[in-house]
Each structure stands twice: as C-alpha cells, then as structure tokens.
Structure 1
Amino acid sequence: MLNYRQLHYFWVVAKTGSIARASTQLNLTPQTISGQITLLEQNYGLDLFQRVGRQLELTETGRQALVYAEQMFQLGGELEAILRAGPQEQILFRVGVADVVPKSIVYRLLAPTMALEEVLRINCREDKLERLLADLAIQRLDLVISDSPMPSHLDIKGYSQKLGECGLSFFATPALARQHAGPFPACLHDAPLLIPGPETVVRSRLLRWLGDQQVQPRVIGEFDDSALMQAFGQSGSGVFVAPSVIADEVCRQYGVELIGQTEAVQESFYAISVERKVKHPGIVAITEGARRELFHW
C-alpha cells in the first residue's frame, strides 16, 4: 500500500528542488527525508530522483509520480479548507469552463450563484473540454460549462443540460464600420473578419452561413479565446462576432458598433454534470438563471 507520508516528502523535495530546502520546510532532518524517499523507491523498485552534478533532478518516473502527487495534495488542501470552514458555513462549487466560451457569458451564467442564501466559494477553472470532463468524471469538478453537449465518443458518465441559445452579432469600430457601410450581410464582402477558432462549435456554422449568403470576407484571424478576438476587434483589425445575447455589453465595453445580426447561426451553451437530477444549489441557480434571465426561454 502506498505510504502517503513518504509520498509527501517526495512531493515537497520535488517542489522545493532540494532535500535541504525540504527539510527546512518540513522541520525534519535531511537524513530523515532522504531515508523515507529511499524506502519509497525501494518499495517499488524504481528511482524517482537522479543526481546530475550537485543537483537533484526527477527521473521520468519521478515526473509522472509528481503529476499524481500534485493532484492528491491539492485535493487534500481543498478538503482541509472545507473542514476548517466548519459545517454548513461554506459550500465549495468547482466549475470548469471550456476555454471557447466567452467570458461575459460565463460571468452572466455564474452571477445568480452570488445571490444565494447558501454561502458558496466558487473555484473556477478554464481548460480544454476533454480535460475538464476527465476531472468531472473523478469528481474534481461539480460542473462544466461548454458550447457543446457531452461528446458521445467519451466513455464518461455525464448529463448535459442546455442552458440556452442565441444568434450571432457582428461588430466593428466606427471607422471600420464606415468603410464597409451598406446592407447586411452584403457589407461583409471583402471586409477583414475575425472568427472563432476551429475548437468552437459556432465556427463551421458561421462559415457555412457566409457561403450560403454568397459573401466572401477576408478572414484575417481565428481565435479560440473570444476575449483576445474582441481585443483585436477593438483595435480596428477587423469585424468580429459575439453571441447576440451580450451585444449591448460588447458595444459598451469595447466602444464598437453593431453592424448586423443573424438568427441563422445559433450558438448554444450547456451545463454538464454527473447528476441526472441536479441537487447542487450552484448548478440549480445557473440553470434557472440562464433560462429565466439570460436566454429567456
């Protein structure tokens, strides 16, 4: 059976970079730490560290072990924080956000959790969808917010709830809008265009719609991060898109103009959890708020 004390010593040495620094942090002698790590290595018949000159470096096995140790002791720290908070004082709400979801949408979705009677401590993490779903499967996350439902090819138990959908809006700085004035969407022909990256669901829908309209803009940039795309758009680099539900907010925040909208290109948002019948107060607040306040359905 894995000796967690020995694993903890290994983790601290790996993080601090030396047995001497680890001994200071742990308030133990270097001999004690070195001896316990040696026992851990002997127990499994492998080396976790190797000497390179006077430096102590992780072996390939050591690097793999460190990844798991990081996760284990991070979870341990979260558990300790919950226990120290006391009963019913605070509910931890761990939310994963697919990096393709616009930040303004994420904020609007999470906002209702701030008005709950229960005191929530939100732990919000952004990453690629498949990595977030892997963490959801082992209950390191309570919820994943995405622009697509649970992929069918993943062998992960999870349930998708559609939070809502909306059309797509097109924005440009006042100067760029004047250069490409005219009826929409014809005004987009030969206009510089910034579009969502290939990781997003809406990208293919947008390009297909442009083709159907026989409009050929000049695509000059693709962005998985919508905030970065909007920053380029704010600088006047090109026309950019955002969900219509936040159109007013985009105009105010970036000082741009709305040049057109279409309902033919729909962008959808989903809440993915491991519960078929949602009980977590944070998830309930998000789903009800999205349908009642944000997407109005």
Structure 2
Amino acid sequence: MLNYRQLHYFWVVAKTGSIVRASEQLNLTAQTISGQITLLEHTYGMDLFRRVGRQLELTEAGRLALPYAEQMFQLGDELEALLRAQPNEQQMLLRIGVADVVPKSIVYRLIAPTMELAEPVRISCREDKLERLLADLAIQRLDLVISDSPMPSHLDIKGFSQKLGECGISFFATQALAQRYGNDFPYSMNGAPLLVPGQETVVRSRLTRWFSELKIQPRIVGEFDDSALMKAFGQSGSGIFIAPSVIAEEVQAQYGVQLIGQTDAVSESFYAISVERKVKHPGIVAITESARRELFTRAD
C-alpha cells in the first residue's frame, strides 16, 4: 500500500527544489526526509530524484508521479478545510471544469449567479483540455464541465450535455484597423490580418467555412487556444479578432477596440456537461437557468 507520508515528503521536496528547504517547511531533519524518500523509491524499485551538482532534479518516474501527488494533496487540503468548517460556516462545494477554449468573460457570466444563492456555495474552478476534464467528471472529481461542444460521442464516458445557449460572433479591431477594414463588412475582410481561435475550437471550423462560402480570404496572422491572449494581440493592433456577440460591449470597453462587424451565420454554443441527466446541485441549476433566461439571446 502506498505510504502517503513518504509521498508527501516527495511532493514537498519536488515543490521546494531541495531537501534542505523541505526540511525547513516540514520542521523535520533532512536525514528523516531523505530516508523516507529512499524507502519510497525502494518500495517501487525506481529513483524519483537524481542529483545534478548541488540540485535535485526529478527523474522521468518522478515527473510522472508529481501531478498525481499534486492532485491528492490538493484534494486533502480541500477535505481538511471542509471538515474544519463550523456547521454555520459550511458551504456547498461546486467543482467546475472549464474547457480552455471557452472565453473567460463567458465563464464568469455563467458562474456568477452561483454567488447570489441564498445558501453559500464555494467554487473550485479548473481549466484544462476537455477530454481530461471529462475523465475527472467521470470519476466525480468534478461536478460540472463547461465547454463549447457537447459530450463527444467517441468517449466511453457517461455524461449528459445541456445546451446553455448560443450567439453569433463579432469582429473587433483597433481604430486604425477598423478605419481600413470596417467598410463593406464582411467583404472588406478579404486580405485583412486576422487572429483566429485554435484548431480545437468549434467556432474555428465554422468561421473557415463561412469565409469559404463567401469567397473571402483573410490573412491569418495568428491562432490562439487562449482567447484572452488573442484579444491582447488584437488590442496591440496585430490583427482583427473575434469574440461572442453576447460580450461585444464588454470587449470594446475592456480592450479599447471597435466593433467592425457581426454575423449570426457563424455561432458559438456553450454547454454544461454533468453525470446527471436531471441536475440537482443548486449551483448547476443556477448556472443553467440564468444562462437561458438572461445571458444568451438564443437558446435551445
């Protein structure tokens, strides 16, 4: 059986970078920590660290073990905080996974209604690739996953997708670019410098198909998995960029850019994926109801 104390010593050494710093943090002697890690290595017949000069570096086995240890002790901290809470201070925990392609402004607007519930809710929010989030949803490490696509059919994971809503997309640019390419939209986009979402996003393929149907060929100067980074490049004048029309006013105010066009022919959809067909968690109910009632202009 795995010795969790030994694993904890390994984790602290890996995070601090040395046995000396780990001993200071744990208030233990360096010999104790070194000995316990050696026992852990002997148990599984592999080295977790190698010494390079005066520094310790993780071996391949150590690099594989570290993220698992990270998750285990993070969950342990959450459990301890929950158990230590006084009865009148206890909060419902809502663990949300967010696909990294979903714009942060949309995520905030979706989750914000949970902060207004009569019963306090503590949110744990994690961003990652969709398939990794769905794997954690399957083993109940997450209560909900927010994505720009429903549950993929090729995954052997039990889950149910609720469409929160959809909206068209808007195109934004600095004043200089807007003056040059803002007239006769969308045909003025032919040859225009364009910043686009990464290949993994659903909207990317829809956008490409729309341009092709209109025989428009913008000049793609950058593609981004992170929508916030794409907006930052757009703010600098590197190119025209897109965002869901539902947050158009917010994008203009936050990034100081101008709206040069909008289309409903290309839409972005957002989904809540859970393991329950009929959700019961008040936080998830608040997210789904508020999205359909207030956030999106068109929802199924």
Q: Name the TM-score, length of structure 1 as normaliser.
A: 0.90
% identical aligned pairs: 79
Task: Report the Cα distance in structure 1 between the residues aligned to 2:190 and 2:154, rounded to whole angstroms.
Answer: 38
Structure 2 counterpart of 1:140, one-letter code: R
* Secondary structure of 2:262's aligned partner: strand
Structure 2 counterpart of 1:9, one-letter code: Y
Task: Report the Cα distance in structure 1 between the residues aligned to 2:44 and 2:156, rounded to whole angstroms.
Answer: 31
Report how far residue 57 of structure 1 moved. 4.1
Task: Report the Cα distance in structure 2 between the residues aligned to 1:14 and 1:197, rounded to whole angstroms.
Answer: 33
Task: Report the Cα distance in structure 2 between the residues aligned to 1:52 and 1:226, rounded to whole angstroms.
Answer: 39
Residue number in structure 1 paired with 2:66: 66
Residues 1:213 and 2:205 aligned together: no
Q: Is 2:136–2:142's contact at 8 Å kept on the other side of the alignment?
A: yes
Residue number in structure 2 paired with 1:186: 187
- Where in structure 1 are there 5+ consecutive unaligned residues? none
Residues 1:292 and 2:289 aligned together: no
Change (3 A) 1:71 1:259: same
Structure 2 counterpart of 1:170, one-letter code: F
Residue number in structure 2 paired with 1:118: 119
Residue number in structure 2 paired with 1:168: 169
Residues 1:224 and 2:225 aligned together: yes
* Secondary structure of 1:101's aligned partner: coil
* Secondary structure of 2:79's aligned partner: helix
The runs of 4+ residues in structure 1 deviating greater than 6 Å are none
Change (3 A) 1:236 1:50: closer
Task: Report the Cα distance in structure 2 between the residues aligned to 1:270 and 1:143, rounded to whole angstroms.
Answer: 10
Structure 2 counterpart of 1:282, one-letter code: G
Residues 1:7 and 2:7 aligned together: yes
Structure 2 counterparts to residues 1-297 of structure 1, below 5 A? 1-52=1-52, 55-87=55-87, 89-296=90-297, 297=299
Q: Is 2:182–2:261's contact at 8 Å kept on the other side of the alignment?
A: no
Change (3 A) 1:61 1:196: closer
* Secondary structure of 2:161's aligned partner: strand
Q: Which moved more, 1:92-101 or 1:284-293?
A: 92-101
* Secondary structure of 1:125's aligned partner: strand
What do you get for the CA RMSD once the two structures are aligned? 2.2
Q: Name the TM-score, length of structure 2 as normaliser.
A: 0.89
Structure 2 counterpart of 1:41, one-letter code: E
Structure 2 counterpart of 1:286, one-letter code: I
- Where in structure 2 are there 5+ consecutive unaligned residues? none
